[in-house]
Chain A
Amino acid sequence: MDDNILEMRSITKTFPGVKALENVTLAVRRGEIHAICGENGAGKSTLMKVLSGVYPAGSYDGEIVYDGRPASFGGIRDSEHVGIVIIHQELALVPYLSIAENIYLGNERRGRAGLIDWNLANAEAGKLLDSVGLDESPVTPVGQLGVGKQQLVEIAKALSKDVRLLILDEPTAALNDSDSAHLLELLRRLKERGITSIMISHKLNEITEVSDRVTVIRDGRTVETLDTKAGEVTQARIIRGMVGRDLESFYPDRTSSPGAEVLRVEDWTVRHPTQDRLVVDHAAFSVRAGEVVGIAGLMGAGRTELAMSMFGRSYGRDISGRIFMHGKEIKARSVAEAIDNGLAYATEDRKKYGLNLIEDIRRNVSAAALAKLSRNGWVNGNEEIKVAEDSRRSMNIKAPSVMSVVGKLSGGNQQKVVLSKWLFTDPDVLILDEPTRGIDVGAKYEIYTIINRLVAAGKAVVVISSELPELLGICDRIYTLSAGRITGEMAVGSGAGGATQESLMELMTKERESVG
């Protein structure tokens, strides 16, 4: 008989009108790394909320057996009490407090008279930081750390609570490759210490690499649990479980036929808004009509900064350099001017910078080009709905109507709304910053298809992405960016000199130390 630390049996959770989970079963063995994957909206997060007590016992049907005993958690406190700690995708750290203060927040180390013993807290926090491999002082404010290090602080916090079952919700979604590798390595070490982990992830390569078993969830039901340790489970196999069919390829085919040059950037230099350093350093690149150009770079290389500074000086200061559209130099001193000149920029953080989440699809789609829908300042509301309705159909946005509030859509559908908004401005050049971040495999494929359709219609597309396979899969050419400098340009193709993950990585890490 298996030694299961956790068994969830026939969990059913219903929201008004929706069955989020139906008879879901999950068995996690003691000391394993158990991955959970499934498309967005499949019910993974709901399942974890049931497990951690966010949805208290009684609000769902089914049975949870933890450590051989039936468990019923009334809240997060209950589940943490028995060593279940969940780390959410959106980290729950207070930026102004120090690492140690965050680690012991709500669980303060008290000394005499009930006062907090900071010396003890800092000393213990230091040990915890050692164990997660974070080389920072416990008194450093968390806000000064990058996302990768903050993730480690969260894990240290979990360890301080004597965690036995650690749940990570998309832990590497916002991390670059080296931070991800570090985190996964840490999970392996925790496993050696006997800590069981459940990891929700979209990144299939990580799942096949680090997990022992993977449970696939689709439409609120358990599809299967695969043994990834045996090494027979391929990414394609997992995808088949997730979407219920084979995807012949991750990336749709496209015949590329680039035309005339549309966008050329020369000598682009941007200074950090508060610090005295160059974030973009004399960058130059160009894009042709009907071409998809990738920009590869590690986190902090200046990819987003390059794009946003071009887009109406939305980032940085002391911006210098020249932008040419169709061979003619343009000024893009404001976002409105950039849009007028045919530029569009879809942000990497659609919730924060891309969408008005409390508004409906209609008003988000029209937001960047209201002028096109209005005469003398009067908006034609009917035409607006028609435009939104057209987008909903052509983009296959899954929502009951264009009056649906955007905040309630899944990540993939939100991204389609963002794309619709920018397409409605009728741009010549679309800059897509991490267009598939945090969205599921099926929606990714759809986004790629949309990109292909755009370039087939003669648009020029620039894709910024952390995922090298994605860039290699959809781009014609790739520029590499390192410490604000363009360090290389490679054609994509199977021929000699074609870009590979290795060659790109080499260029992306080049000269990293020389500027700082």
Chain B
Amino acid sequence: MTRTAPPEADPTPKEPAPTAALHAGTSDLRALVTRNLRTSGIYVAFVAIVALFAFLTDGVSLSPGNITNIVLQYSYILVLAIGMVLVIIAGHIDLSVGSVVALTGAVSAVLVIQRDYPWWVGMLAALAVGLAVGAWQGFWVAYVGIPAFIVTLAGMLVFRGLTLQVLDNISLSPFGEPYTDVASGFLNGLLGGNGYDAFTLLIGAVAVAGYAVSGFRTRLARIRYAQPVESFPLFVARVVAVGAVVMYFAWQLAHARGLPIVLIILGVLIITYAVISNRTVFGRQIYAIGGNLAAAQLSGVKVKVVNFWIFVNMGFLAAVAGIIYSSRSNGAQPSAGNMFELDAIAAVFIGGAAVTGGVGTVVGAMVGGLLVAVMSNGMQLMGVEQQVQSIVKGLVLLLAVAFDVYNKRRAGTSR
């Protein structure tokens, strides 16, 4: 059952072999799955949902064109979910992001469409508005101590009102290129290819190589520190499995329209924030605050500062989502972004975050968001009615959190 690093790879042979207890349940696949049921459950569910809809739609849901569509359609929700997961880990909530998406898109549209500024001025203005909104809400939450629920509920109303004000209650369009390339553009044909896009495949290959190299380096570092690692065959299997999925995905994209620009943006954001949440002091303090606010405070964490920046960051990402959404819809509407906050929050909780804070991951939230995306998309392909889709989505959210609660209770009754 228990496998350790190959002895020849262990540079500290003089150390007594780490005890069996240290290694228990860390190396083989089954143990890995059961140990992290809470976090791995979502992946299992995701694979199951993908397989289910591939079956129900006779493979249409996995067709090149449809995969591209899913990415394009749900990218802004995923961007919001990245910010939202940090907010929720810290024990807050943000109900205003839908309105902020609308406001930032509106400001951008007014500048670019009405006043004829270049496309990048609109985007920078949107980001500036997003940061300002975040600073405003962060101030009330962190320094005045108003619960985020209230602050962002107020923000939801205020920023929706400001959107109407800015747009003078009318829709603006069109942005035109290159603004719309953010959400609808593709990088293709850069390296040619016969019936497929070689550049997309190259990027896919680079991503897989990067994953393998960083995984291997992490593994070496862990061995150097005499920590348990998965067995080498299992490590290879994991890299191969991930590589296969990524390359399949790239292959499908390459046969459709190439690499969507928004996917690159999304990829960069996911990697950046996954690293921030996991590997930086700031990220770790977010978990500490959500896990036990008082203990974090008494451990020297500057809780107010951290909370403030969490909301500034949320505002920034809401602006990014606003740019993507306005780019995709090629204009700004007073009602843009309605209910986006709920989709983002749902993605985070389906992705394994705890309602009480302190638990959650960026990658989990992404999978949670994609799960909803694949499900909605699959039901659309099958022609399921709107009302049924809504009911199913609601039940999935409920079940996901119920699973989380059940897991926690099971873990809590060990004695």
Contact = CB atoms under 8 A, between A and B. Distances in A.
Q: Do the two chains bind?
A: yes
Interface of A: 15-16, 18, 20, 41, 46, 311-312, 314, 334-336, 338-339, 345, 347, 352-359, 363, 367-368, 370-371, 374, 377-379, 381-383, 385-386, 400-401, 405, 407-408, 421
Nearest to B20: A400
Interface string B264-281: 000000000000001111
A359 B359 CA distance: 9
Interface string B297-323: 111111000000000000000000000
Contacts of A338: 300
The prevalent SS among residues of A at the interface is mixed
Nearest to A401: B22
Contacts of B239: none
A108 B298 CA distance: 42
Given A370-B281, A379-B279, A385-B225, A345 B298 contact: yes
Contacts of A41: 415
Nearest to B228: A401
B297 A335 contact: yes
A18 B414 contact: yes
A363 B281 contact: no
Given A335-B299, A368-B300, A370-B284, A400 B291 contact: no
B353 to A, nearest CB: 12
A371 B415 contact: no
B300 A46 contact: no
Given A353-B298, A354-B295, A408-B414, A374 B21 contact: no
B53 interface: no
Interface of B: 21-22, 24, 221-222, 224-225, 227, 278-282, 284-285, 287-288, 291-292, 294-302, 354, 358-359, 411-415
Nearest to A400: B21
Contacts of A370: 281, 284-285
Contact of B224 (A334, A345, A352, A382): A382
A356 B299 CA distance: 11
Contacts of A371: 281
Contacts of A312: 300
B296 A367 contact: yes
A482 B413 CA distance: 42
A374 B281 contact: yes
A421 B299 contact: yes
A291 to B, nearest CB: 24
Nearest to A335: B300
Nearest to B223: A382
B279 A18 contact: no
A358 B358 contact: yes
A250 to B, nearest CB: 27
Contacts of A311: 298
A386 B414 contact: no
17 contacts: A16-B414, A46-B415, A339-B300, A352-B292, A352-B294, A353-B292, A358-B354, A363-B284, A367-B299, A370-B284, A374-B280, A379-B280, A383-B225, A385-B225, A400-B24, A408-B414, A408-B415
A363 B285 CA distance: 10
Given A311-B298, A368-B299, A378 B414 contact: no
A266 B278 CA distance: 43
B252 to A, nearest CB: 35
A-B pairs with lowest CB-CB distance, top 7: A356-B291, A368-B299, A336-B300, A382-B225, A335-B300, A356-B292, A367-B299
A377 B298 contact: no
Nearest to A364: B295
Contacts of B413: 15
A41 B21 CA distance: 20
B399 to A, nearest CB: 22
Given A335-B298, A335-B301, A374-B281, 8 more contacts: A46-B415, A347-B298, A352-B292, A354-B298, A370-B285, A381-B279, A383-B225, A400-B21
A314 B299 CA distance: 11
Contacts of B412: 407
B320 to A, nearest CB: 22
Nearest to B23: A401
A432 B413 CA distance: 30
Which among B222, B411, B412, B414 has the greatest number of chain A C-beta atoms within 10 A? Answer: B414
A340 to B, nearest CB: 8
A18 B359 contact: no
Contacts of A367: 288, 295-296, 299, 301
B214 to A, nearest CB: 13
B282 A377 contact: yes
Contacts of B287: 356, 359, 363
Contact of B292 (A15, A339, A357, A405): A357
A335 B302 CA distance: 8
A89 to B, nearest CB: 15
A353 B295 contact: yes
B284 A356 contact: no
Contacts of B298: 311, 314, 335, 345, 347, 353-354
B227 A382 contact: yes
B404 to A, nearest CB: 12
Contacts of B359: 358
Contacts of A20: 415
A408 B410 CA distance: 12
Given A18-B414, A335-B297, A386-B225, A355 B21 contact: no
A273 to B, nearest CB: 14
B356 to A, nearest CB: 8
A379 B281 contact: yes
Contacts of B285: 370
A359 to B, nearest CB: 5
A418 to B, nearest CB: 9
Nearest to A366: B284
A338 B299 CA distance: 10
B281 A377 contact: yes
A464 to B, nearest CB: 15
A329 to B, nearest CB: 20
Contact of B297 (A15, A314, A382): A314
Contacts of B224: 382
B415 A385 contact: no
B9 to A, nearest CB: 15
B41 to A, nearest CB: 17
Nearest to B357: A358
A452 to B, nearest CB: 25
Nearest to B275: A378
Contacts of B302: 334, 336
Given A354-B295, A382-B224, A401-B22, A377 B358 contact: no
A423 to B, nearest CB: 13
